Structure 1
Amino acid sequence: MTTWSVVKDDTRQKRRRGLIPRIALLACLALVVVSLGMAFSPGIPKEPAEPPFSEQARSAALTETMRLRAAGEELGRSIASGGQPAVARTVSLLTSQARALLLPGQDSPESPPAEGAPSSATPSASPSSPPLPATAAALATELAASASQRLADAAMADGGMARLLAAVGTAQLLQASSLAAAAGAPAPAVPDPAAPSLFGACPSAPASPSSAPASSGAAASAGRDTGTATLPGALAAIVRTELETVYGYQVALTRLSGDAAASASQQLARHEALASGAEALSRMHCAAAPAREAGYTMAPAFLASPATGLGGLETSALTAYGDLVALSEGQTRQWAISGLVGAARRSALWGADTGAVPGLAADPETFPPLPAPSVMPGP
């Protein structure tokens, strides 16, 4: 190798050794710049978590209830003689329901509740809100549509909220029919929720009633005797209620005549089917159904006025069906929702008042008051 080649190779090596510190310095500077950029650049804000379905359903129910209430108030002011009674009853019903749907600490349907309470998911008014119904018939139609949505949401909501939504939807459905009749309009074309075809069996069904596990009977007994909120207890309450109602209709038929007797005969067949359905559901859920009794003691007032007495029997079933809505799911809840609406319908048929939230054992006087409407400040 020549002296020139040795000198050239040595020069290249020196240049390479001189570049290494420069490259390292540049890499360090790049890391510093990147880290400073990350430190000073604002972080991407996280999107708020989507509220649970039950909260969305409650908020939507409150929104629509307040909208229909406003429509009823406007309609009542436009009718002579202080407003149509059916419209006034509708406004009263929707007011009670809005109070039931309002969260404690919520200043208004548009605002979130106080700190610590869940926020409302849907505003009660927006530029895209549909126009308010301008006639009683239109209000009845939209009330029925709201009822149908509330009942559909009740099938998927959590237990307690499911009961509230089912109660609101049931009362709205009945009031829609009443309002339409008062306005001389056809009943809203919204069918009542249908009872599903029951299917399924207890995973560990006993061979005979005598060999049933002790836990099944104990659960049913606890639900009956101590009022413990259990699915077996709720089913047992439905069975007992329906069996007593069947007996009541049988007694009433001996004292009724004409159209009342024909209607009672139809309802008797319906209650016999409901009792059988509740017993079937008890077996499906591995729960012991109460034994059928030979008869029940009917109060003298029932014998003196059987039509009124039948109304009382029907309304007494509302809370039992409400309990089953809250404690069940799937086809059992659908069956319970159908039973709740049916019991409310039959109560109204016999002239009984089902209240603003049928199936909910609560005093409307304890509901949070609606806030006063806000007043825009002057210039």
Structure 2
Amino acid sequence: MSGTLEVSDLHKQFAIGRPAVDGVSFAVPAGEIVVLLGPSGCGKTTTLRCVAGLEHPTGGAISIAGKVVSQPSRGIQVAPRQRDLGMVFQSYAVWPHMTVRQNVVYPLKHRGVNRTEAARRVDEVLALVGLSEYAERPVTALSGGQMQRVALARSIVYRPKLLLLDEPLSNLDAKLRLRLRDDLRRILKAAGMTALYVTHDQAEAVVLGDRIGVMRDGKLLQMGSPDEIYNRPADLFVANFTGATNELTGTLVARNGAFGTVDFGDGRRGEASLLHEVGVGDKVRLALRPENIRIGGNGANTFAARVTDRRYQGTQTVYDVELFGRRLEALELGTAARHEVGVETMVSLPREGCWAYRDEGKGGEE
């Protein structure tokens, strides 16, 4: 039976520099998949390694299925093998001299499961990961994606309380990665696993996670459903990192509930969603997703712009447009490129897709 994971005020300080993990707190209820998302060096893998027991935290507490497994202030540090968890790594870590079945049954042999029950569990989990017909094959005869399925099957066959996955798809080619990504959530849900998943890939996080936690510089900036993370980013970094790469600057001149009026200069004004506590007169920075900018639009928040470049990508076209002296990227779906480079056109910025944050004098990503 899967258990809960609770991480409370977790700190990890290495010998020098800023903390690798700096006051991170979150909970994963039984059966839920939580994804930690962020760039390299943000602390997500260190957090996972602390949960696994592979790193010793310098502060805070970690509980798995109600049992405290790490709490430095009380001298508690349970060994990894006693935490009842499974792990899937970037490398497949399968035993090359064994068959698929031998790889998957191995953890059961060391847990005293009798032969009949072990065979039943192996058959069950191989069916779950789609490898039943490969049971007697040597793993060296499998593709990378199939070997990662073997690693996953081996990690869940003994029904751990918690499954940890550290960028398990990153070594696969793009096509395999997409296929296994789509299957992985189904497999984890069918197995009823509680899972903590680490990735730097936003699309992966959205497909897999019940909730996503975005990290930066050792801190957890926001934890929420994929919809919350993508449509109500907590700050400019979260917005930028999850694809709202366009920015405009201005001054907030009026508020109206959840929206405000922003002056972009030269009398040009538009409405934006206020996701921060921003006051009238404050300098603001707006984040916009390329897919939310409408070329040739009309209505509120429509301004004259010029198309300066376009990149046709078959099923979509990406345009560069110059607006208020800034270059913005706009994306249009469809197999035909509709706008010519050099043309003047109107550009619409829907207020729900313009997120205003207090301008701290720097962009969202450093």
Give the TM-score taking structure 1 as reference length: 0.23
Rg larger for: 1
Higher helix proportion (structure 1 or 2): 1
